[in-house]
Each structure stands twice: as structure tokens, then as C-alpha cells.
A and B are shown apart, each in its own frame.
Chain A
Amino acid sequence: MNLVQILDDFRQNPKIQSRLTAWRVLPAREGNYADLPGDLDPRLRKALTARGIHRLYSHQAEAYRRVQEGEHVIVVTPTASGKTLCYNLPVLQHTLQEESCRAIYLFPTKALSQDQVAELNHLIDLTGADIKTYTYDGDTPTDARKAIRAAGHIVVTNPDMLHTGILPHHTKWMKLFENLRFVVIDEIHQYRGVFGSHVANVIRRLKRICRFYGSNPQFLACSATIANPGELAAKLTGEKVRVVDNNGAPRGEKHFLFYNPPVVNHRLGIRRSCILESKDLAAIFLRQGIQTITFTRSRLMVEVLLTYLRKAVGALSRIPKTPSATVIYGYRGGYLPRERRRIEKGLRTGEITGVVSTNALELGIDIGSLQVAVLCGYPGTVSSTWQQAGRAGRRAGVSAAILVAGSSPLDQYVVTHPEYFFGGSPEHGLVNPDNLYILVSHLKCAAFELPFQEGEEFGVDATSEILEFLEEEGVLHRAGNRWYWMSESFPAEEISLRSASAENFVVIDTTNGSRVIGEVDRPSAPMLVHEEAIYIHGGQQYQVERLDYEEKKAYVRQVDVNYYTDANLAVQIAVLEVDESQETAGAVKNRGEVSVTAVATMFKKIKLYTHETIGSGRIHLPEEQMHTTAYWLTVPGSITTNWKPDDLQAALVGLATLLENIAPLYLMCDTRDIRAVPQVRSPFTGLPTVYIYDSYPGGIGLSEKVYSLHEQLLSAALEVLENCPCREGCPSCTQKEIEKPNKGLTKNLLLALCSQQNHQPASGPTQGNSAPEKTWRTTDECQG
């Protein structure tokens, strides 16, 4: 059976039909074209013609024109709409006309950059000009680096390498910085939250170095669809940026299905596991040899699902010498680069039929055109969902994407409100480049790179105040009217752009000798590689035998057991300062600074397939403390006077669970970026309180946004509760794990909190009222 036949089969299958909450067909669409620009260098024109490009899509033409007019540009169009040409064209045009012209290309991941270089080089070869493109990242051999620094016209790298490998050594890159004309930032929507706030500061440093060498580059960015691309680009680059979004690319027919697993326990409202459902769906396609990518939300789930799928399809775990059987691979961070390149190639050549991946493959890595994407769980944001779905059917032809909802409120909200998803992108990319913690880190790096001049501003007015503070701390030294770096250390190495801490834990397999098999970032380490944890890599289970917390090494040994482990994090919270506080209808909302103490306390052993808890153990690891920003909601005494303490506790847990799961919908953040903590009697307020804090030192503006969304959040929470088919509370609404029934209690509490409000059920987080079922055309325009 081919894909069209399978889809027909789905249509006739009442069981499947009953589980589908949406089936949209995005019809094939004609392109919208423009002529090649008149001023285009003949060599470039020739190269494009050789590639079969005789005209441009309308957005490509506009991007080119805007760049030529000297504007900073951000192009916002869907996957596979020829975004790359939007920046390659002006960059090559300028380099052809002016040999000294230099450009930096920033990609969020290494893998992505390798791919883009291959494509770029192909185009350059066709021009016949000697334009040198180099990838400069952690994998670049030392002896090649010198040549790249001197001769590369286009240096392709990632923000991390710019941060530690290029900017601190700018004197060796004099030629690049003196002539830097363009900075290309691809997948700019990836730079949000903590990561984006860091990157904004790296760009501040980049611009500072450019000023020193007398250059003033233009920024060219690309983004997936988000609500505020222009604002995000402006915050990241510190420049006014022109948004180009008149997508002119054609598209093949695409089916987008929303699938909600059936309820298997009505009393508890438990649905069948989204992993098992995804396995079954993916297997349908894989058995027919249809290339299918399955996305999961965590590294752990990649491994679990990979194991299931291989078994279900009878697939091989290695590419055989003679291609015959189905081959399925896993793909995620923590795999070594060579392994990843092999998998990408296997997907392109068709040697690999299936891949189970985290969002690592969401970005534009070239893995050819897969036919089907199965999304195991809502990826967390609308734009991520479109990107993952876009991995199927990049070129012409029919393709399908199936979103299989998990049991979290976020998943359930989206799957039962398809109009929220298809109605456009309400998500905002939030960054806070002025987060003090992040800002100060980069101020140090900047001071290492160039002394600070008195009166110089680094993003904020208070620059000199911070410099004086660092001077007192003995980190900077003031001489004359300048501040100089005064430490032996190399500050960039101490700061990781991707997480709170620079240090990863390495995982060492000691089954045969000792071999590094992967890495785990520090915040996840207590949860993933505590002693006795089952760490899964490449489908193989390993048990952690020893965790050397000081040295950041986890020693593991291969095992074969029928369970995996899941760890609990215990959190304490203390208010340091109230920034704002306001009485609302039924509650008091507050925001301010808090101190959070977290410690991993215990883990559970969860049986494969049945997912029942079959054992547990204690975790002995030191606690970690953090200062951050938080929002908290206090319940006035008038509401709770008649409540039994047990009931109140259960209701608060329910409310915290709901809020923690729904808030990311509004914030376009990862569910791990915020945490909610309930307290029956907060030591600070003396009242029942629910905290939501930014899971990053100093905060990145998320809880601030929650404060302003207080009413909408409560309404949405109430609505999720009312729509949930369970009776007593379930993991889709009020419970993290099944404990005391709390659905009714939570609802009562919520009703009380919203009581004075003119309560209306909210439907879309940012559109205050329920949007009518959108016509198909609208969806088309939003997502092309």
C-alpha cells in the first residue's frame, strides 16, 4: 500500500476516525514568482540557471531588494520555501563584486551548518568564482583553523563557537572583522528563552568587536512562523529589522491529522499511552516501507520508542550490506557526530526507513524528503510542530503528519482545540537579553575581548554600575578611563549558552574497558544519571553504577532489564523581594524574586510497556540553590476558611499542575523552563500559595509574562478542567501521579478564584474569545 491508500484506509476505519479530532488537507499550491534581479552578477545568474532557477519566489526577490537597500531583514516562511537563497543571494552578490567582503553564518546546530555549507558550495562552484566557505566549529581540525581565519569569505559557525572560539580570539580574525559585511542568522526562532538571551548578548559582543575594527554588518535572519518575528530579531540584533513574509513557494498536498489516544480508564480519565499509539501508527507506515520520522519529546523516549518500533516492525538496528529489510535508527543529542552523519546520509539515500528523533532533527538538516511524520506528543510550540511536520514532504507529492496527543493538559488542550493550532501562530518568542545574570556573564567576556571605555554602553544604561561592581569584585581593573580584564581565567569557557552551567556530565560505559558513550547537561544529571538510574543510549540499557558528582562522570554498565527509571525533584521556595502585587477578583497575584532550592530525592522504576511502578529508591545528591524571578498567586483566607487542610492541599496541587502545564502555551517556552510549586501555608504569605518560577538564575521574563496573563491562565485552566473526560482528576489535568482525587476540589478552588470575574471560557490563549472554526484558506495563508 502506498501513502494515499493508507490514508483512504484511515478514512474508512471507524476506530481511527473516532480518535481523530482534526484532519486538514493542505492542498498543493502554485508558486508566486518574480524575475531574477536586474543587477545580479552574471556569474551568479549563470549559477542559478545551472541549478534550474530561472526566477525567484516573491519572498526571495523582496528579501534581496531590501538587503540591497541596506535594511536588516528577517524572512518568515515555512520549511522548504527556499529561505536559504534569501541570504545566499545577497551575500554571494556582494562577495562577487567585492573580493574583500566577508560574512558570518550562524546556525543553531553543527549538523545544520554542515548541510548548508554543502549547498552553498555547490552554488559557488557553479559561479566559477573563488569564494571560500568554511565551517568553523568544535570539529574543525586545528591545522585548518589558521587558513579559515585568514582566507574564509564565509565563515559558517554556531553561536557557541562564536562565543568561545571566535570573539575571544578576535585578533586572529582581524581580516574577517575588518571586512564583515553580513551576519546571517538562520532559524532565529530557536534563539528564545535562556538560549536566546545569551545569543543576544553574544551579538552585542560581536557588534562591539566590529566597531573596534571599523565594520558595521547587516543582519539577515530567517525564522519559522511565530507571532513576533520582527520583535524577536530586533531584540537579538539590537537593530530595526524588516520582516519579509510574502511566501511565494509552491507546495505538495499535505495531510495533517490530530490523533487523541482512546480513554482506557474512565474513572481516572487515563488515555492509552501516546508512545504506544505512536508506535502503532508509525509501524503501519514502516511496514509498507514508507519513510517515516517519529518525533518524541525527550531523549529517553527516543530510546524507549526505538526499542518498541524495532520489535514491532522486526527492523534492523544496523544498515545491512545488501538493502533488504527495514532499518530504524534513533537520533538525538548525545550521539556522537560521526554516528549522526551516518544516519542523516542513510535517510537521504533511503537505506534507513525509519528514524525516531528528538527535536534535534526538527531543524533544516537535509535528510531528504520523508513521507510521514509522527509526532509523539505535542512538541510544545506551534512553530515547532509545523517544523517537525514539515520534515515530511518537503518537496512535491503527498505527505502526512500525525500529531499524537499525550496526556498532559497542554497536549489535551491543543488536540481538542485544533483551531488554536491551525488558526495561526499566537506564540511569542521571548528573550530577555538584560537578564542580569546573563548580561553580567557576557559583560565579563566582552571585557576580556576589549577593555571597556568609560561611558560605553553594553545593552543597558547601568553598564558602568555593573563595571564598577566587577571592579570591586576584583574581576576588572580600572586604569585611566578604561576597565580591563584582570583574571587568569577565560570567561567564555565558563558560560554555556544552552544551559545554566557550562559543564556536561560524561557517561562512561565500563562494560568492556571504558568508553565515553554520551553526555548529559548538568541540570538534567541528577535526574538522568543518579546511581541506579537506567540510562538508555542507542536502544541499549545501561545502569549507572557510580556517579562522580565532583568530576562530572557517570560510570555505567550494560544491562537488560524490563524497566526504566524516573526521578523526582523536591523544590523549596522562599520569597526575597516583591516587585509587584495586585488584588484581582478572587485572588492576589504577585511577582518578584525568589530563592529556589532543588534536590533530587527519589526515583521510581517503571515497567516497560505497562508503565506501572515496580520499585523505587533514594537519590543522594547535593541540593542546588538558585535565585530567580517568580509569579505567585495567594488564595485569600475568605475562600479557604471552610476547607479541610487535606482538601486544600489536593486542590493546590491540582491548580499548580494545571498552571505549569498550560503556561508554556502562552510563553513559547519549554515545559522545563518554568516550574510550579504549591504551598498550603506559604512561610512568606502565611496563606495558601501557588508559585510559578523561571527555571533559570535571575529569570528570563517568563514569570513576568505569567503575571500579566493571570486572568487568562485561570480561565484556560478552568476550561481544561471542564473539558477533561476524567471524573476524579488525571495526569491530563490536575494530577502528576494518581493520588487523592482532586478534580472537583480544584474546580471549586478555581471557581472561587475566578468568582468575581465575568467568567467566560477562554479558547485561545492570546485571542481572548473563542475563534470560529477557521476556513481552510486561512490556515493555508498562515502556514503556507
Chain B
Amino acid sequence: MSVRDKLERLYRKKSPKEPKPGNHQSGISLRGHASRINSVVPGRYTSTPFGLCFSTERTYPPGYKHGTHHLASLPPEIGESIGLLTAEDSWIGIDPRRILFFDTETTGLTQGAGTCVFLVGVGFFGPQGFTIRQYFLEDYSQERAFLYLIARELGRFQALVTFNGKAFDLPLLANRFILAGLGPPPVDYPHCDLLYPARRLWQGLLPSCALADLENHILQFHRTGDLPGTEIPGRYFHYLQTRDGHLLAPVFDHNRLDITSLATLLIHLHRFVTNPMAPGHSPAEVLALARLLEARGHLHQSEEYYRAVLEQEPGGKMEATAMRCLANLLKRKGQVKKAVPLWEELTRKETFSLDPYIELAKYYEHCTRDLDRARDMVLRAREVLRHKKALGFNLGHQPAELEHRWQRLQRKTAKRDHPGVISRRSAE
């Protein structure tokens, strides 16, 4: 049996099916009617030392509206906003025109040397408005030309904004550069992946933090007739076999919308960060921002926003959380006395959090040395635990920790009440 026959037998015997689209004959016959990419997508071929590469460009004039936002320009202080969100100082003072928005389309979602980047979209703001340029890999054999132009584009900018680019787009692009023998891609400047701040601000508030959900719920932009991302690799493979550019026009559109949303999302974040109290932002979002800022070390601003949430919606859903956060922040700033009324207020509310009782117990034990009040707090905390247990909560280490605290307070009280008696513990 020839190798050929054995292959047929091993792989085709089970399901004798009609030739796949990959088959030579069908490829050739379709090729006759196929429309090349440049007859479907307006664009041009650029020559490089490694051959030609197709690209297309579109500029959105300053009046263009994407959802509720205008895509006119980035404000001069955009770098400060990004710096605030990412805690990376290198963003401060960045020229908004040197920021590149970046997104890729690939032949799969797995990281690995066999996943290929075939479409790269970049966006930037200029005097004429927002420009999107898309570079397209017409066939694998032109990869070096394709990467050459991408490297040139990356080299013209000073900062990068992506959505999930840190974990996905950039590592894949790096693979391609290495495989093509071109060394790592020239991105030695700040890179902000908006997925991370988006998660901090909206996780739990939205169905997910995928770009599509952010568009629908935050940017008020609703796609119609968009190609689902899962179909993209298949489209490209089919294109490779048929050379039918119509297959890919929707992929170009999809990529362009992603870039537009990316830029809009940044504008939205900037407006929100610089003026969170403006109408349109819910207390939950402001609270999330305050927590993000606190995590980044901007204590002053976060305190202001915690207080704003409390003022804005007395008795609202966010009140208890805001109170707890504010109290913790005050404690962190060394103003524990200011936090006490907040904790006391929290104990009057019917929440299941043990924090206020524990914090107050600590305060009375260590700051005011009022052991009786401290003991009272632990007893009340026990009551809450009992309640939680009855409702089937998983209590974890809480009972043990509480018991430990109780025992210590008991010992201290005993020592206070009977100063002559040496406890067993101190005798040791």
C-alpha cells in the first residue's frame, strides 16, 4: 500500500465525504469568480523590502458620533487620566496624538506558535479627526511585509491602548515577529489594557466586561449585523482557499468597530475619572472608582467620592458599602476616631458584616481601653454569626477568630478585676 492509500484509509475511510472547500478543484473553480480583497475593501498595496502588503484607511471627521460620545480628539490631559487608572506614571504628559489604539484579528484564540495574526487595526487622532488604518495579511507568505509595516506603524507612536492586548494581542504578535526572524515588536513604551480598569469599575454591575457589553451598557452603542468573533478564523481560512474578498469585508468592519469603541471607551473613562459626579454615572460606579483610586493610593480623592456617594443617596443600596470603605480609609489615614461613628452607624443597620463589630472591639480594647464595651461588641458579633450560621452561610475562620478575641478580652478583664491573681498564661 502506498503512503497515499494508507492515509486515505486511516483518515478518510470512516466518513467518505465530498471534498472539503480546501480541495484543489473547488479552490481553482471558485478562484475564477473570486473578487480580490482590494475590489471589495478600498485600499492600497504598499511595497516593503519583503514585498507588498495590503492596507486600508478611513478617517472619521470630528463630528462623528459613536454611541453617546463624539470621536473628535483626545483631551491634552488624557495621559493623567490613564496614569490615574493604571498607576503608571509614564503616562503623565503623553502627547494625545502619539497614542495608538490597537487591535488584531487572528486565526484562533489559543496562544501558541501556530496562531497567526492576519488583520491589524490601528487608530489615532489627528487634525482631520480619528483615523483607522488596517493592515491585512493576504497570504502567510507575505507575513514579513505585513509585520514590517506594523513595526513601522508602532514605531511612530509613544503609547499603546488595547482591550485585552496584554494577555492576547501583543504576545501573539510577538510570536509572529520572532517566527519571522524580526526580533520582538517595537513596543517599548507605555501600554494601557483597558480591560483591567473596566473590570475594576464594572465587574458585577454588567453581565460581563467584554467589549460588546461595555458598548451596549456604557457607551450606548449597539452593533447591527456584526460578525460574531468566533466565525472570524473560519472566514479567513475559507478566504485563503477561495481568495474571495467578500468573505472578509465583515471582518474588516468588525475590527474597525472594535478600534472605534476602544477610543470611545478611553474618552468615556477620561470624562468619568475627571468628573465622576456629573450626571449619568450611578453611585455604584462612583463607589467602584473611589475604591480603584484608593487602591492606587489616591486617598484624598477617594475619600471625597465615598462621601459623595453617601450624600448622594442616603439610605441607598451602596450606603453600607460606602460607609465601610470610608471608615476603613479613615482608619488607614490614622483618623480612627472619625471612623467610629460610621462603624456605630453600621452596627445599627441590619448587615451581616462582622467588620464594624470587630473594628469597634479593637478600638475600645486598644484605643480607649474600655474592655466592657469591647466585650459587648464581641458578644454582638457572636449574635450575628449565630444568625449567619442559621441561614446556612459558610463562616470560615470567623468563629475561631472571634473566640480568640473573646478569650483575650476575658483574660484582660480578669486581670483588671483581680490584679493580684497571676493568670496561667502570664506565668508561663
Contact = CB atoms under 8 A, between A and B. Distances in A.
Contact of A168 (B7, B113, B179, B233): B113
Contact of B113 (A169, A625, A697): A169
B3 A490 contact: no
Contacts of A451: 140
Residue of B4, B9, B112, B241 with most partner-chain A CB within 10 A: B112
Contact of A482 (B9, B24, B141, B234): B141
B162 interface: no
Contact of A474 (B10, B13, B22): B22
B140 A169 contact: no
Contacts of B23: 472, 474
A170 B113 contact: yes
B140 A576 contact: no
A479 B13 contact: no
A437 B178 CA distance: 31
B393 interface: no
A448 interface: yes
B113 A484 contact: no
A577 B6 CA distance: 10
B9 A627 contact: yes
Contact of A480 (B116, B141, B179): B141
B3 A436 contact: yes
Contacts of A489: 108, 110
Residue of A440, A449, A474, A576 with most partner-chain B CB within 10 A: A474
A477 B140 contact: yes
B10 A437 contact: yes
A487 B234 CA distance: 8
A171 interface: yes
Contacts of B3: 436, 462, 465-466
B140 A490 contact: no
B145 to A, nearest CB: 12
Interface string B5-41: 0110111011000011111100000000000000000
B19 to A, nearest CB: 8
Contact of A473 (B11, B114, B174, B175): B11
Contact of A440 (B10, B109, B233): B10
Interface string B65-97: 000000000000000000000000000000000
Contact of A477 (B24, B109, B240): B240
A732 to B, nearest CB: 38
A485 B113 CA distance: 10
Interface in B126-147: 139-141
Given A488-B108, A593-B1, A698-B10, A473 B140 contact: no
A504 to B, nearest CB: 20
Nearest to B24: A472
Given A169-B113, A171-B174, A482-B141, A697 B179 contact: no
A488 B234 contact: yes
Chain A interface mostly: mixed
B59 interface: no
Given A450-B179, A474-B21, A625-B14, A466 B114 contact: no
B104 to A, nearest CB: 15
A474 B21 CA distance: 7
A477 B10 contact: no
A256 to B, nearest CB: 45
Given A489-B108, A490-B112, A171 B178 contact: yes
A624 B110 CA distance: 30
A725 to B, nearest CB: 46
A-side interface size class: 35 or more
Interface string A561-585: 0000000000000001101000000
Residue of A462, A488, A576 with most partner-chain B CB within 10 A: A488
A92 B285 CA distance: 57
A486 interface: yes
B111 interface: yes
Residue of A171, A485, A489, A579 with most partner-chain B CB within 10 A: A171
B176 to A, nearest CB: 9
A625 B6 CA distance: 16
Given A440-B10, A469-B4, A477-B240, A484 B233 contact: no
Given A473-B11, A479-B141, A449 B114 contact: yes
Interface in A422-477: 436-437, 440, 447-451, 462, 465-466, 469, 471-475, 477
B237 interface: yes
A445 to B, nearest CB: 9
B56 interface: no
A360 interface: no
B141 A488 contact: no
B141 A169 contact: no
A577 B240 CA distance: 37
Nearest to A437: B10
B199 to A, nearest CB: 18
A666 B19 CA distance: 44
Nearest to A436: B6
Nearest to B237: A486
A475 B12 CA distance: 14
B179 A440 contact: no
A490 B240 CA distance: 19
A479 B114 contact: no
B142 to A, nearest CB: 8
B237 A474 contact: yes
Nearest to A169: B112
A466 B112 contact: no
Residue of B7, B171, B174 with most partner-chain A CB within 10 A: B7
Contact of A576 (B9, B20, B107, B108): B9
Contacts of A174: 178
Contacts of A490: 108, 110, 112, 114
A490 B241 CA distance: 21
A469 B7 contact: yes
Contact of A465 (B4, B114, B178, B234): B4
A447 to B, nearest CB: 7
Contacts of B112: 168-169, 448, 490
A487 B139 CA distance: 14
A10 B110 CA distance: 62
Nearest to B23: A472
B240 A486 contact: yes
Nearest to A449: B113
B21 A697 contact: no
Contacts of A440: 7, 10-11
Contacts of A465: 3-4
Contacts of B13: 627
Given A440-B7, A472-B23, A593-B1, A450 B113 contact: yes
B10 A697 contact: yes
A479 B140 contact: yes
Interface string A147-188: 000000000000000000000111110100000000000000
Contacts of B174: 171
Interface in A329-351: none
A473 B9 contact: no
A242 to B, nearest CB: 33
Interface string B135-178: 00001110000000000000000000000000000010011001
A627 B241 CA distance: 31
18 contacts: A168-B113, A172-B175, A440-B11, A472-B19, A474-B21, A474-B241, A479-B140, A479-B141, A480-B140, A482-B141, A487-B107, A487-B108, A488-B107, A490-B114, A491-B114, A577-B1, A627-B13, A698-B10
Of all A-B residue pairs in the complex, the 10 with the closest CB atoms, nearest first, are A474-B22, A448-B114, A480-B141, A479-B141, A488-B108, A485-B114, A484-B140, A171-B175, A479-B140, A168-B112
Interface of B: 1, 3-4, 6-7, 9-11, 13-14, 19-24, 107-114, 116, 139-141, 171, 174-175, 178-179, 233-234, 237, 240-241
Given A474-B241, A490-B112, 15 more contacts: A168-B113, A169-B111, A172-B171, A174-B178, A448-B112, A469-B4, A473-B22, A474-B20, A474-B21, A474-B22, A484-B140, A485-B114, A489-B110, A490-B110, A491-B114
